[in-house]
Amino acid sequence: MAEVPAADLKTVLLNDRHVALGGRMVPFSGYSLPVQYPTGIIAEHKWCREQAGLFDVSHMGPSFLVLDQKSGDGEADHAAIAALVEPLICGDIRGLKPGQVRYTLLLNETGGALDDLMIARPAAEGWGGALYIVVNAGTKDADFQRIAAAAAGKATLNRSDHCALLALQGPEAVAVMRGVIPGAAELTFMHYGSFDFEGSKLVISRSGYTGEDGFEILVDPSHAALLFDRLLGDARVKPIGLGARDSLRLEAGLPLYGHDLDETTSPVEAGLNFAVARRRRDAADFPGATRILSELGGVLDRVRVGLFVEGAPAREGAEILDLQGAVIGRVTSGGFSPSLNRAIALGFVPPDKAAPGTPLQVLVRGKPQAAEVTATPFVPHRYVRKPA
């Protein structure tokens, strides 16, 4: 494992908190971040599935894109800012309702994924003509440059990655949130808003990367430690490191950029057809539309699948074989599922081998092991789409 020298690593605002909590700090996307706390990945994983976990994801890239000159007509201003970002992505941003968050993909000209990201429309009337955009840590500099260039002269991208971004995830997250920011508990899945906290404003979305109900919270540097301590002060909340974040998202069947998605992978290959908006398909006006529309029509070489793996975990890079032993694909994320107590993986195979139940093999340390294609998520999502 190549480790970046500590001197080159950035620290997050709450670094001292993680160290004090016994976090084992490791290099990740140029930042020093806790991979686990003393209880370990499996205990943290299970706690998040049963109670509530608090994740520091401040390495990611939150930002706001704001029109330089607003007309004052909220709908017109939204349409104007949507028109600036839509040429870069395959999602319908113009169609977002106030307060709505959308998962989408930044694409290159051949329809490959440059990143997967969240784009949201502010709920407040006065905020027409702005978008809240959150991108991945490893790609954020390039993404921000790309977005800023596309909007140059018409809108300005303001980075917020000097703030803290926290994720509160798990079945108890909403009850915890009700005790800290009551208004935020009323958000439904994939909606966001701005909320008062001790004289500061928090940007809170009902979203996450675990498959559980939960929230992602952007907080100013001045209030980050206060909020972190307040949330951890609830006995239902424990801090969760990057290790369990990865095993949770893998069980949830959620792709990780740089592993399950890269510049060669199209949304259709990655099983993210839902992210290619109907309106954009009809207009064929997104990067790589020719390829992606043809793939949607059935011309497809490979597709992302879930695999149950017998025996040892098949890690990223492991070859996927058919029953005759021919290499048909590769594992892109693989590991151990603490919830299912077995090895699971995501990988790419030809479409005729992608039906759930298809028996395959994976090569682990030179030895073939049985595997079976399975539907994802491996563990059902528990998002709260409507108010309880």
| Interface with other proteins, residue 361, by CB under 8 A | no
Query: Contact between 336 and other proteins (CB under 8 A)?
Result: yes
- Shortest distance, CB of residue 246 to other proteins, whole angstroms? 8
Examine residue 335 and tell whether it contacts other proteins (CB under 8 A).
yes
CB of residue 259 to other proteins, shortest distance in Å: 14
Smallest distance from other proteins to CB 21, Å: 16
Nearer CB in complex with other proteins: 143/260: 260
Q: Tell me the C-alpha distance between 384 and 187, whole Å.
A: 9
Determine which residue in the list 51, 63, 207, 247 makes contact with other proteins, applying CB under 8 A. Answer: 247
| SS3 track for the chain | CCCCCHHHCEECCCHHHHHHCCCEEEEECCEEEEEECCCCHHHHHHHHHHCEEEEECCCCEEEEEEECCCCCCHHHHHHHHHHHHHHHECCCCCCCCCCEEEEEEEECCCCCEEEEEEEECCCCHHHCCEEEEEECCCCHHHHHHHHHHHHCCCEEEEECCCCEEEEEECCCHHHHHHHHCHHHHHCCCCEEEEEEECCEEEEEECCCCCCCCEEEEEECHHHHHHHHHHHHCCCCEEECCHHHHHHHHHHCCCCCECCCECCCCCCCCCCCHHHCCHHHHHHCCCCCHHHHHHHHCCCCCCEEEEEEECCCCCCCCCEEECCCCCEEEEEEEEEEECCCCEEEEEEEECHHHCCCCCEEEEEECCEEEEEEEECCCCCCCCCCCCCC
Interface region with other proteins, contact rule CB under 8 A, candidates 7-15, 227-235, 295-303, 305-313: 305-313
| CB-nearer residue toward other proteins: 126 or 311 | 311
| C-alpha dihedral sign at 75, 159, 239, 309 | positive
Choose the binding region for other proteins from 107-115, 127-135, 140-148, 330-338 (rule: CB under 8 A): 330-338
Site for other proteins in 22-81 (CB under 8 A): 35-36, 40-43, 45
Minimum Å gap between C-beta 59 and other proteins is: 18
Sole binder of other proteins in the list 365, 366, 386, 388 (CB under 8 A): 365
User: Taking Cα atoms as reference points, which of 107, 106, 86, 108 lies closest to residue 96?
Assistant: 86
Q: Is 243 in the site for other proteins (CB under 8 A)?
A: yes
Stretch that binds other proteins, among 82-90, 105-113, 198-206, 242-250 (CB under 8 A): 242-250
Cα end-to-end distance, the chain, whole Å: 46
Taking the complex as a whole, the smallest distance from the CB of residue 211 to other proteins amounts, in Å, to 17
User: In the complex, what is the shortest distance from the CB of residue 222 to other proteins, in angstroms, rounded to a whole number?
Assistant: 35
Nearer to other proteins, 1 or 388 (CB): 1
Stretch that binds other proteins, among 67-75, 139-147, 285-293, 336-344 (CB under 8 A): 336-344
Stretches 58-66, 155-163, 218-226, 309-317: which one binds other proteins (CB under 8 A)?
Answer: 309-317
Number of residues that bind other proteins (CB under 8 A): 19
> Which lies closer to other proteins via its Cβ, residue 26 or residue 84?
26
Determine the interface stretch with other proteins among 6-14, 222-230, 240-248, 254-262 (rule: CB under 8 A): 240-248
Least separation in angstroms between residue 337's CB and other proteins is: 9
Contact 228, 54 (CB under 8 A): yes
Distance in Å, CB of 43 to other proteins, minimum:
8
Given 85, 176, 256, 343, the residue binding other proteins (CB under 8 A)? 343
CB 29 to other proteins: min, Å: 16
Q: Exposed, middle or buried, 298 (CB in 10 Å: 0-12/13-18/19+)?
A: exposed
List interacting residues with other proteins (CB under 8 A).
35-36, 40-43, 45, 243, 246-247, 311-313, 315, 335-336, 338, 343, 365
